[in-house]
A and B are shown apart, each in its own frame.
Chain A
Amino acid sequence: MGISHVIDRRLNGKNKSAVNRERFLRRYREHIKKAVSDAVGKRSITDIERGENISIPGKDLDEPTFRPGQGGIRETVNPGNRDFSTGDMLPKPPAEEGGGGVGDGQAGNAGEGMDEFVFQISQEEFLDFMFEDLELPNLIKKQLKDTTSYKYLRAGFTNKGNPSKINVVRSLQKAYGRRIALTGKSREKIKALDAEIAALKASDNIDQQLLDELTEKRKRLKKRVKKIPWIDEFDLKFNQHIRHPVPSTSAVMFCLMDVSGSMTQMHKDIAKRFYILLYLFLKRNYKKIDVVFIRHHTSAKEVDEQEFFYSRETGGTIVSSALKLMDEIIRQRYPASDWNIYAAQASDGDNWNDDSPQCSKLLRESILPSVQYFSYIEITQLDHQMLWHEYEKLCTEFEGSFSMQNIQTESDIYPVFRELFQRKSA
C-alpha cells in the first residue's frame, strides 16, 4: 500500500474558482447591474463604497434537465415511523405544493429549489459594476505635466551593475572567449610538444634527456594554462535597464457646490451623493487626477474634501463667485494648455437674477473654451429659474463639452450620473 504522499497545496491555485465565478457574474451581468443601481439609490452617503447582496430569480438560472414532475403514483420509504400500521390512510395536505407533504420526500427533493438565488459581490466588484462603461469625455493627452512616472526598458548590456542583474550567458561567453584568447599560444605549444613527445617515444632509441626536458616544458605550459582564471571580474556582464518617462494624462476636476440657505438638507444630500459618486469614479479610474473642491454661497471658497462634504453653511447665493474662483484657479495652477480640465456644478437653480447672465458669460467667454467637459446638475422639483435658462443657451453652443441635467429625487442621481459620463463610442 505504501505511505501516502502529502502535499501542501495552500499556496498555489489561489482563486482558481475566480474564473468560474467571473463567468457567472458575466452571464448575469444585467441582473447585477440592476441590483447595483438600486443599491446606489438606497444607500446613505457614507455607505456607498461597500459590497452588495445580489439576488437573482431562481428560475432565471435554473439548469433544465429532464425531471419527474408532480403526479402519478409515488411510493417512498421513510425513516422514523412511530404509530403507522400497514393499511393506514392519511389525509393529504390541502395545498398541492409537494415538498412538505407527509413522507413525500422525493417530491420535495425534485422540486424547483429556492425562488431566489442570493449571493455577495465584493466592494471591488460593486464599484466595477457601478462605473462600468463610464469615462471622462474628451480626455486627450496634453503635455507631460507629471514626470514622476517612468517605465524601465531593457537597453543592452553593461560592465557594471548589481549582482541581481548578472547576465549569466553573456558573462560565461565572455569568460570563455578570454580563456581561449589567453591560452591559445600555450595550448598550441602543448600540442606541438605532445606531437614531439609522441614521435620521440615512437622512435627506436629514446633520448631520455630530451624526453624529460620536453615533459618538463609541457608541465610548465600546462600550469600556465591552468593559472588563467575560469571567470574573472571583467568577464561579468549585466543587463542594463534605462528609465523611460511615460506620458501621462494630467487632469483636474472642479467640483462646485452651492451650500447657500436655499439649499435644503435634501438638496445638499443629493448634491453630496452626486459628488461622492463622482469622486469615487475619479479615484478609481484615474490615478493622476487633481480634484479641486469649491463651495459657495455669496462668496466662494476652495476647501478640502472633508470640509466640502461635511461642513454646513448658510447664506444667499451668488453662483458666479464660484465660477470666478474656478477661473482664477485655472489661470494660476492649471493652464489649459497642460491640463485636461473637468468641472461639475451642482445647485438648486436659485440665484440672484442679476447674477445668472454673469454666470453664462463667464462660462462662455473664459471657462468653457478651456475645459474638456463641464456638467451642470440642477437639483429641484420646482420650475427652472433663470440660471437654468441661461445655461440652456450654452448647450447648443458648446455641444460635446457642456451638458446639463435635472435631478429631482435621490433615485435620479445614479442614472443622471451615468448619463453624463456614459462612454461615447468613437
Chain B
Amino acid sequence: MKKTKKKNTSKEETSPNYISTGSEWSFELIEKYDEEISRIAKNFKLDTYPNQIEVISAEQMLDAYSSVGMPLGYHHWSFGKQFLQSEKGYKRGQMGLAYEIVINSSPCIAYLMEENTMMMQALVIAHASYGHNSFFKGNYLFRTWTDADAIIDYLLFAKKYIAECEQRYGIEEVEGFLDSCHAVMNYGVDRYKRPAPISAAEEHKRQQEREEHLQQQVNELWRTIPTNSDDGDNRSRVRFPEEPQENLLYFFEKNAPLLAPWQREVLRIVRKIAQYFYPQRQTQVMNEGWASFWHYTIMNQMYDEKLVDEGFMIEFLKSHAGVVYQPPFDSKWYSGINPYTLGISMFQDIRRICESPTDEDREWFPDIAGKDWLETLDFAMRNFKDESFILQYLSPKVIRDLKLFAIKDDDKEEEYEITGIHNDNGYRYVREQLSKQYNLSMKEPDIQVWDVNLRGDRSLTLRHIPNNRIPLGKSTDEVLKHIHRLWGFNVHLYSVDNGITVEEYHCPPEQHEIDL
C-alpha cells in the first residue's frame, strides 16, 4: 500500500477531514471528490484518458441506456423499444437506474444521475472515470479494436449520414435496411485481423470515392461476359470466396450485387459500430471486476484518510454488496454468474496471492505469489480477455468461495451430470469449463459465408458448424430473410457437423422442404 504521503499519515491521527457529510451533492463537491479520487488513483498508478463527467437527469439516463450506452447513436425503433422497457422498470422501481454508464472514448465520458446521493456520485466517479477508464486505455483488446479519440466523431458522422439517408430514401426504407444489418451485427468482425481505426474525417473524405470504387469492384465480380478461360464449366469453377468468411457484414458490403451505394455505407457503419463493441463483449467480467475492485479500493482508501464519514461508508458498503451479490444457482434471482462478483473476486484474490500467499497459491501461481500486487494486477488487466483471464487466474480459493460446480446437460441422456466441483479433482476442470463459457463462439453460433454461385443463380450459401451438437435457434429463418434482403438472391444455410449436413434452411423456402 502506498500510504507514504505525509499529509495522509498526519491526517490519520488527527481529526477527520470530511469532504462533505450528508447526501446532498453539488458541483463543487463533485469536483472536490474527483480531485481526491484522482489523487488516490494516481497513487495506485491507474493510467486513464482525461475524464469528462456529465450530470444528467433520470430520463436522460434511460435514454443513454436504451441507445446501448451510445447517446450519440443513430435513430432506430429498437432503441425506442429498449427505452420503453427500461422506463417501465424504472417507474415501477424494479430497477435501480444506471449505476454507471461510461463511454470508451477520449475524453472518457461518464454519466452521473442527478437523483444520486453524494456517495453514489463519488462511487460512480471511482468506478467509471477511473476504473473503466483505465481498463479502456490499458486492455489490449480495446487498444487493438477501438480508437478512443475518434469514436465520438464517428458516431456523429454515422448519425448524420443515416439521418440524410432517411431524408432521401424515407424512414421506412432505411429502418428496414438497418433491421437487416442488426440481424447479423454480431457477425461484423474479423476475429484475427487488426481492423483499420475509425476516423470520422477520413470516412467523410473517402466516402465519395469509396462509393464509386465499391460499385466498380462489385461490378467486376458480377461481370457476366465470359472470358476465354471461363466457358461455363462448373467443375473447374473457382469457389468464391476462396476461404470461408466469418465477417458477414464486410462480405455483404463488398460483394452483395444489388445494394445501392448508401446501403453499403450503412452496412459499413453498422459494422464499424459492431467492431467498437467487440472488445466489450469479450471483457465483461474483467472490465466490471476491474472497475469494482478499484471503486472498492479507492473508497476504502478515502475512509482510511478520513475524507468520508461512517455514514458514507455504510451507504457505500450496502450499495457495493448489492452489486457484487451472487445468488446461488437454485435461487429465484439466479440468472447466471454475476460478472461483477466473479471479476472483483478474482482481482481481489490476485492481490491476496501477491500480498499473503498460501502454500496452495505458491503451488498454483508460482509466478505471482509474493510479487508486487499493483504490477501483477496491471499486467492481468492489460493482456487478457475473459476467457484467457479465467483460465490463467481463477484460483482454487475463488472456486471454493463461490462454490462453483460444472454440470453437463446432454439431450441424449436422461439425467444431468455433475462433472466437477470445488475439490482437488475439480478445480482445473471447473476453471476450464468456466473459461469456455466466456468464449464468444459458445454464445454465438459459428456461421460463415461458404460459397456464392457466381455464374448461376447468384445464390449465397452459408455454413453453420455446430458446437457440441447445439442446433440453431428459432429465429434462424427470420435472420435468413434479413440476409436475403442484404444479398438480394436466394440464401441457403447448412448446419454441417463433422461433414454431415444435419439441418438446412433456405430463403425463400425450398419446395421439397414444404413437402416434408
Q: Which residues of A contact B (CB under 8 A)?
A: 1-10, 13-17, 19-27, 61-82, 84-92, 101-110, 112, 117-120
Q: Once bound together, how far apart are the Cα atoms of A37 and B66, in whole Å?
A: 29
Going nearest first, the 7 A-B pairs with the smallest beta carbon separation are A80-B328, A24-B80, A72-B470, A64-B478, A4-B51, A64-B475, A17-B63
For residues 70 through 113 of chain B, which have their beta carbon under 8 Å from a beta carbon of chain A? 71, 75-81, 83-85, 87-88, 91, 107
Q: Can you list 29 A-B pairs, Cβ within 8 angstroms, ordered by A?
A: A1-B50, A4-B129, A5-B52, A6-B30, A10-B57, A15-B59, A17-B62, A20-B67, A63-B182, A65-B183, A66-B472, A66-B475, A67-B472, A67-B475, A68-B443, A68-B445, A69-B472, A73-B409, A75-B406, A77-B405, A84-B407, A84-B421, A88-B418, A105-B334, A105-B335, A107-B409, A108-B336, A117-B81, A119-B84
Q: Which of A2, A27, A85, A117: most chain B Cβ within 10 A?
A: A27
Residues in chain A near residue B59, CB distance under 8 A: 14-15, 17
Does any Cβ of A come within 8 Å of B218's Cβ? no
- Answer whether A20 and B83 are a contact pair too, CB < 8 Å, given A6-B27, A118-B88: yes
A97 to chain B, nearest CB (A): 13
Quick check: which of B353-361, B365-373, B426-434 contacts chain A, the rest being far away? B426-434
- Nearest Cβ in chain A — how far from B36, in angstroms? 11
Any chain A CB within 8 A of the CB of B404?
A: yes
Tell me how far the C-beta of A24 lies from the nearest C-beta in chain B, rounded to whole angstroms.
3
Smallest CB separation, B78 vs chain A (Å): 6
With A9-B54, A78-B337 given, can you name 17 additional A-B contacts, CB distance below 8 Å? A4-B38, A6-B53, A14-B57, A19-B75, A24-B81, A66-B444, A66-B475, A71-B411, A73-B410, A80-B326, A81-B403, A86-B418, A90-B415, A92-B414, A103-B409, A105-B334, A119-B85
Interchain CB contact under 8 A, A86 and B419: yes
B471 to chain A, nearest CB (A): 4
Residues A79 and B404 in contact in the complex (CB < 8 Å), given A65-B479, A66-B444, A84-B421: yes
**A88 to B416 Cα, complex, angstroms:** 8
Minimum Cβ distance to chain A for residue B374 (Å) = 16
- How far does the Cβ of A129 sit from chain B's closest Cβ, in whole Å? 15
Residue from the set A79, A84, A109 with the largest chain B CB neighbour count within 10 Å: A79
Q: For chain B residues 25-46, which have a beta carbon within 8 Å of chain A?
A: 27, 30-31, 34-35, 38, 41-42
Q: Does B319 contact A (CB under 8 A)?
A: no
Query: Residue on A with the closest CB to B403?
Result: A81
Q: Are A76 and B470 in contact (CB under 8 A)?
A: no
Chain B hits for A92, CB < 8 A? 409, 414-416
CB < 8 Å: which of A10, A15, A63, A79 contacts B402? A79
Chain A residues with Cβ below 8 Å from B464 are 66
Q: Which residues of A contact B284 (CB under 8 A)?
A: none
B-side contacts of A13, CB under 8 Å: 56, 60, 63, 71
- Which residues of B have CB within 8 Å of A106? 336, 437
A308 to B257, alpha carbons, bound, how many Å?
A: 67
CB-defined contacts of A72 to chain B, threshold 8 Å: 410-411, 466-471
Chain B, 198-220, contact with A by CB distance < 8 Å: what is the 0/1 string? 00000000000000000000000
Is B476 interfacial (CB 8 A cutoff)? yes
Residue of A whose beta carbon sits closest to that of B408: A75
Contact check, B474 vs A69: say whether CB atoms are below 8 A apart: yes
Contact A88-B417, Cβ < 8 Å, known A7-B52, A20-B80, A103-B329: yes
Q: What separation, in Å, do the CA atoms of A34 and B438 have in the docked complex?
A: 43
Number of B interface residues, CB 8 Å? Answer: 107
Q: Are A7 and B80 in contact (CB under 8 A)?
A: no
Complex alpha-carbon distance, A167 and B380, angstroms: 65
Pair A79/B75 contact, Cβ less than 8 Å = no
Contact B410 A4 (CB under 8 A): no
Tell me, yes or no, whether B179 is within 8 Å of chain A by CB. yes
Q: Which of B330, B419, B421, B473 contacts A66 (CB 8 A)?
A: B473
The answer on a CB contact under 8 Å between B479 and A64 is yes
Give complex CA distance A102, B328 in Å: 11
Q: What is the CA–CA distance of A91 and B413 in the complex, to the nearest angstrom?
A: 10
Is the CB–CB distance between A120 and B88 below 8 Å? Answer: yes
Partner of A80 from B330, B416, B430 at Cβ < 8 Å: B330
Q: Which residues of B contact A105 (CB under 8 A)?
A: 329, 334-337
Query: Is B244 close to A, CB under 8 A?
Result: no
**B422 at interface by CB-CB < 8 Å:** yes
| Pairwise interchain contact A80-B76, C-beta atoms closer than 8 A | no
Q: In this complex, what residue of B is CB-closest to A16?
A: B63
Per-position binary interface string of chain B over residues 210-245, scored 1 when its CB falls under 8 Å from any chain A CB and 0 otherwise: 000000000000000000000000000000000000
- If A23-B80, A77-B434, A80-B331 touch, whether A110 touches B326 (CB-CB below 8 Å) is no
Assess A62 versus B405: contact at CB under 8 Å? Given A5-B107, A23-B76: no
Is B287 positioned at the interface, with any CB of A under 8 Å from its CB?
Answer: no
Bound state CA distance, A13 and B54, in angstroms? Answer: 12
Question: A76–B187 Cα gap in the complex (Å)?
Answer: 24
Q: Is B420 an interface residue (CB 8 A)?
A: yes
Q: Which residue of B lies closest to A102 (CB)?
A: B416
Instruction: Give Cα A61 to B56, complex, Å.
Output: 30
Does residue B55 face the partner (Cβ distance < 8 Å to A)? Answer: yes
How far apart are B33's CB and chain A's nearest CB, in angstroms? 10
Tell me which residues across on chain A come within 8 A of B125, comparing CB atoms.
Answer: 4
Is A112 a contact partner of B79 (Cβ separation < 8 A)?
A: no
| Given A5-B52, A86-B426, also A66-B62 (CB < 8 A) | no
Q: How far is the CB of B295 from the nearest CB of chain A, in Å?
A: 15
Asked whether, in the complex, the Cβ of B472 is within 8 Å of the Cβ of A81, the reply is no
